[in-house]
C-alpha cells in the first residue's frame, strides 16, 4: 500500500522555504516491556528476519513458535529486568539512543534545515515511524545511520532492507543516503582508546589484560561472504596500535552465540573461563561493536561473564562502558554524519 503524506503537511513543508534534510539514527531494538509478553513480541520480530536466521523454513518455524517463543521470553525478561531503566520504564538502549539523537540535533542546531530522529530496527520506535516523522517535517532527503561500526548482513543490511521497504510504499520518495561502516574510522578508534584510558584509572585494580568482545555470528555466514569477522579483526588491530598493545594484552573474542551451529571463535565465555584457570586474576572487557550499552553489555558481559571469570578463579573484573552519548561517542556520530551530509548542507 502506498503511503501518502497528508496534504496539510505537504503544504506546510512547501511553505517553510528550504527543503529539510533528515538524519535517522537506527539501532538494533528492544522490547517495549521487561516481561515475557513484551520480550516475546520482540523476539518474534527479530528471529523472523531472514537476515538474522537465514533458514526460515518449516523446521525453524516449528522450533521458533513451538519451543523458543514458549520458553525463552520468560528467561530473557528476567535478564532485562536486571538492567531496565525503571525511571523511564524502558531499556537502556532506548534511553541512550534517544539521547544520542537529541545531542546530535543540538550539535546541528545551527543548521535549521536539518532534522534528527531515531528508530529501532526491531520494536519501537520503528523505522516506518521515523521516516514518516521526517517526511512530515518536510524532509526530502534522508540520511540513514545504522549505529553499527562493523558491517554485517544481520545488522547493517537489515536496516537498509527495512528502509527500502518503507520507501517502496511511498509515491513521493525522499532521496536516500546510508552511512558506511566505520570500523577503522580514525574518530572511532580514537574514541575507543579515549574511553578505555579514561576508565582504567577509575578502577581499584590494574587489569592484566583487556578483552575486546564483539557480538557473535554463525561461522557459515562468514563463509558465505559476510565481512563482519574481518571488520572486527581490523578494529581490534587498529585499537591495539593506538594503545600500544599486542594480541597478548588486547584479546579478541565473540559473545552471544545462539543455537547449536558453530559461531565465530574464540567465544567470550569460554575465554573468561580459560583465562581464570590459567591464572589471570584481573581483567577489563570493552565491547567495541556496540554503540550503546544494552542487554549484551550490561547483563551478558558485566554480570554473566564476570561471574564466569570469578567462579573459575578470577578476582577483579570490569566492563568498560560503550561510547554511548559520551563526548567521544558523540564526536564519532557527528563526524560520520557531517561527512555523509556533504553536498546536502
What are 283-295's pLDDT values in tens digits? 999 999 999 999 9
Consult the annotation and say whether 327 binds a ligand: no
CA 149 vs CA 85, 163, 289, 290, 328: distances in Å: 25, 18, 6, 8, 14
Half-sphere exposure of 162 (CA within 13 A, CB side): 29
CA 148 vs CA 25, 72, 123, 127, 128: distances in Å: 10, 26, 17, 16, 19
Structural fold of domain 186-319:
Rossmann fold (3.40.50)
Phi-psi region of 255 (alpha: psi -120 to 50; beta: other; left: phi over 0): beta
Return the bridge partners of 213, or none: 253
Evaluate if residue 8 carries a pLDDT over 60: no
Q: CA–CA separation, 213 vs 272, rounded Å?
A: 11
Peptide bond into 125 cis (omega under 30): yes
- 145: phi then psi, degrees, rounded to nearest 5: -125, 90
Mean pLDDT of 189-205: 98
Half-sphere exposure of 149 (CA within 13 A, CB side): 31
Sheet holding 282-286, edge to edge: 250-255, 209-215, 282-286, 316-319
CB 2 within 8 A of CB 170: yes
Give ranges for CATH 3.40.50.1400 in the chain. 7-182+328-340, 186-319
Dihedral, CA of residue 217, residue 289, residue 340 and residue 153, to nearest 10: 10
Mean pLDDT of 180-209: 98
Q: Given this model, what pLDDT does residue 19 score?
A: 85
Q: Considering the domain delimited by 7-182+328-340, tell me its CATH architecture.
A: 3-Layer(aba) Sandwich (3.40)
Evaluate if residue 13 carries a pLDDT over 80: no
Q: Given this model, what pLDDT does residue 259 score?
A: 84
Q: Tell me which DSSP letter residue 219 carries.
A: H
Evaluate if residue 280 carries a pLDDT over 80: yes
| pLDDT tens-digit map of 69-127 | 999 999 999 999 999 999 999 999 999 999 999 999 999 998 889 999 999 999 999 99
Consult the annotation and say whether 296 binds a ligand: yes
Q: Given this model, what pLDDT does residue 190 score?
A: 98
Element (H, E) at 315: none
- The C-alpha cell that represents 296 in the structure block: 549484551
The proportion of the chain whose per-residue pLDDT surpasses 70, expressed as a percent, equals 95
Q: Given this model, what pLDDT does residue 112 score?
A: 81
Nearest to 270, CA basis, from 318, 211, 230, 217 = 211
Mean pLDDT of 163-173: 97
Evaluate if residue 4 carries a pLDDT over 50: no
| pLDDT tens-digit map of 29-59 | 999 999 999 999 999 999 999 999 999 999 9
Q: Given this model, what pLDDT does residue 17 score?
A: 59
Residue 3: band (very low, low, confident or very high) from pLDDT cuts 50, 70, 90: very low
Mean pLDDT of 192-221: 98
Q: Given this model, what pLDDT does residue 260 score?
A: 85
- 115: phi then psi, degrees, rounded to nearest 5: -120, 130
CB 118 within 8 A of CB 310: no
Start-to-end C-alpha separation, the chain? 32
Whether this model's pTM surpasses 0.85: yes
Q: Which residues contact 138 (CB under 8 A, 6 or more apart)?
A: 12, 13, 14, 16, 19, 20, 115
CB 91 within 8 A of CB 295: yes
Amino acid at each position: 500500500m502506498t503511503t501518502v503524506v497528508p496534504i496539510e503537511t505537504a503544504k506546510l513543508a512547501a511553505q517553510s522555504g528550504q527543503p529539510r534534510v533528515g538524519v535517522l539514527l537506527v539501532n538494533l531494538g528492544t522490547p517495549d516491556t521487561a516481561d515475557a509478553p513484551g520480550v516475546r513480541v520482540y523476539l518474534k520480530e527479530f528471529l523472523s528476519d531472514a537476515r538474522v536466521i537465514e533458514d526460515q523454513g518449516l523446521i525453524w518455524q516449528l522450533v521458533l513458535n513451538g519451543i523458543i517463543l514458549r520458553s525463552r521470553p520468560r528467561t530473557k525478561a528476567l535478564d532485562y529486568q536486571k538492567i531496565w531503566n525503571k525511571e523511564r520504564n524502558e531499556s537502556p538502549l532506548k534511553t541512550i539512543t534517544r539521547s544520542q539523537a537529541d545531542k546530535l540535533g543540538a550539535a546541528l542546531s545551527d543548521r535549521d534545515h536539518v532534522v534528527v530522529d531515531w528508530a529501532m530496527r526491531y520494536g519501537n520506535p520503528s523505522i516506518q515511524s521515523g521516516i514518516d516523522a521526517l517526511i512530515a517535517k518536510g524532509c526530502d532527503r534522508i540520511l540513514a545511520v545504522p549505529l553499527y561500526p562493523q558491517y554485517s548482513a544481520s545488522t547493517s543490511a537489515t536496516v537498509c532492507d527495512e528502509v527500502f521497504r518503507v520507501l517502496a510504499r511511498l509515491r513521493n520518495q525522499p532521496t536516500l543516503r546510508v552511512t558506511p561502516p566505520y570500523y577503522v574510522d580514525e574518530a572511532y578508534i580514537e574514541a575507543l582508546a579515549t574511553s578505555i584510558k579514561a576508565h582504567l584509572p577509575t578502577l581499584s585494580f590494574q587489569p592484566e589484560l583487556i578483552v575486546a568482545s564483539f557480538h557473535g555470528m554463525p561461522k557459515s555466514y562468514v563463509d558465505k561472504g559476510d565481512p563482519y569477522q574481518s571488520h572486527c579483526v581490523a578494529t581490534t588491530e587498529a585499537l591495539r596500535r593506538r594503545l600500544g598493545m599486542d594480541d597478548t594484552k588486547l584479546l579478541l573474542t565473540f559473545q552471544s552465540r545462539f543455537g547449536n551451529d558453530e559461531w565465530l571463535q574464540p567465544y567470550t565465555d569460554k575465554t573468561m573461563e580459560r583465562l581464570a584457570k590459567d591464572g589471570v586474576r584481573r581483567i577489563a572487557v570493552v565491547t567495541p561493536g556496540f554503540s550503546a550499552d544494552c542487554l549484551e553489555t550490561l547483563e551478558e558481559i558485566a554480570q554473566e561473564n564476570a561471574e564466569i571469570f570469578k567462579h573459575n578463579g578470577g578476582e577483579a573484573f570490569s566492563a568498560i562502558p560503550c561510547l554511548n552519548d559520551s563526548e567521544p561517542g558523540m564526536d564519532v556520530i557527528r563526524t560520520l554524519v557531517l561527512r555523509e551530509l556533504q553536498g546536502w548542507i
